[in-house]
Amino acid sequence: MKDIQTLFKNKSLLRQALTLAHHGKTASYERLEFLGDRVLGLVVAEMLYTQHPDEKEGILARRFTELVREETLADVAHTLQLPRLLITNETELRQNQSILADVCEALLGALYLDQGLDTVKAFILSIWLPLMRQNKQAPKDPKSTLQEFAQKKGHTLPIYTILQKTGPDHAPSFQIEVSIPHIGSAIGQGDSKKTAEQQAAQILLEKLNGPSKQK
């Protein structure tokens, strides 16, 4: 993997993408994250459309969700060694999954502004094409799987409830319960609502079906 710092002509854009908020102040990367999210979405959508010409929209959408979800972005951030490059005095933020995912998108937005769509597209494909090829079957996230389970069994759709939110705004921790009335419930934790909901759904699925059935 090429050193991120050597990719940029405009080093100030890279610095902006890597600078975190300090004690709740607005982070430099947030506008770049907004842009990078759209750039990543476009490139991944085109990649899936091209690589899977016979798949229906619903299957493509599941693949897309897997490739751009927070967990995947955080893994890419680690691959790119972004935690050590982050500009922050708060060490714990370097391992915050939600922040790493956001900064990963900010980096893509910055690279787009710095060198244009062709360069950032090539960069994205070099990372996301192998990720796509790892999953021959279109994956389903735990929330989607749990919802389908409830629908097939004729149950009420899962209900997600925030039990607790702790920590400062720039590094929160959520505890969320998912429940299907008369069937069961589970509690998940994470540094974003999405992560906590997915964990809760996964735990409930394992209660209902057993961990070996959840792929």
> Would residue 90 show up in a list of annotated catalytic residues for this protein?
no
**Is residue 182 domain-shared with residue 127, that is, in the same domain?**
no
Last residue of a domain, one of 82, 117, 134: 134
Query: How high is the pLDDT of residue 22?
Result: 63
The active-site residue, picked from 33, 37, 70, 177, is 37
pLDDT tens digits, 156-169: 999 999 999 998 87
Q: How confident is the model at residue 89 (pLDDT cuts 50, 70, 90)?
A: confident
**Is residue 32 domain-shared with residue 118, that is, in the same domain?**
yes
CA atoms within a 13 Å half-sphere pointing along the CA-CB vector of 210: 2
Closest listed residue to residue 159, CA positions, set 168, 171, 169, 146: 146
**Is residue 98 domain-shared with residue 161, that is, in the same domain?**
no
Last residue of a domain, one of 85, 113, 134: 134
**Is residue 152 domain-shared with residue 84, that is, in the same domain?**
no
Residue 30, pLDDT above cutoff 70: yes
Query: How high is the pLDDT of residue 211?
Result: 47
Q: How confident is the model at residue 215 (pLDDT cuts 50, 70, 90)?
A: very low
**Is residue 69 domain-shared with residue 130, that is, in the same domain?**
yes
Query: How high is the pLDDT of residue 154?
Result: 87
Give the total number of structural domains in the chain. 2
Query: How high is the pLDDT of residue 23?
Result: 54
**Is residue 76 domain-shared with residue 160, that is, in the same domain?**
no
Report d(CA 77, CA 75) in Å as an integer: 5
**Is residue 155 domain-shared with residue 95, that is, in the same domain?**
no
Confirm if 88 and 94 have CB atoms less than 8 A apart: yes
The active-site residue, picked from 33, 70, 105, 141, is 105
Closest listed residue to residue 115, CA positions, set 39, 167, 60: 39
Last residue of a domain, one of 134, 159, 192: 134
Query: How high is the pLDDT of residue 213?
Result: 39
**What is the span of the domain harbouring residue 205?**
142-213
Q: How confident is the model at residue 141 (pLDDT cuts 50, 70, 90)?
A: confident
For the residues 16-45, what does the mean pLDDT come to? Answer: 86
**Is residue 165 domain-shared with residue 207, that is, in the same domain?**
yes
**Is residue 147 domain-shared with residue 105, that is, in the same domain?**
no
CATH number, domain containing residue 162 = 3.30.160.20
Closest listed residue to residue 103, CA positions, set 160, 37, 155: 37
**Is residue 204 domain-shared with residue 98, that is, in the same domain?**
no
> Would residue 177 show up in a list of annotated catalytic residues for this protein?
no
Q: How confident is the model at residue 210 (pLDDT cuts 50, 70, 90)?
A: low
**Which has more confidence, 27 or 105?**
105
**Is residue 105 domain-shared with residue 149, that is, in the same domain?**
no
- What's the pTM value of the predicted model, to 2 decimals? 0.70
**Is residue 36 domain-shared with residue 106, that is, in the same domain?**
yes
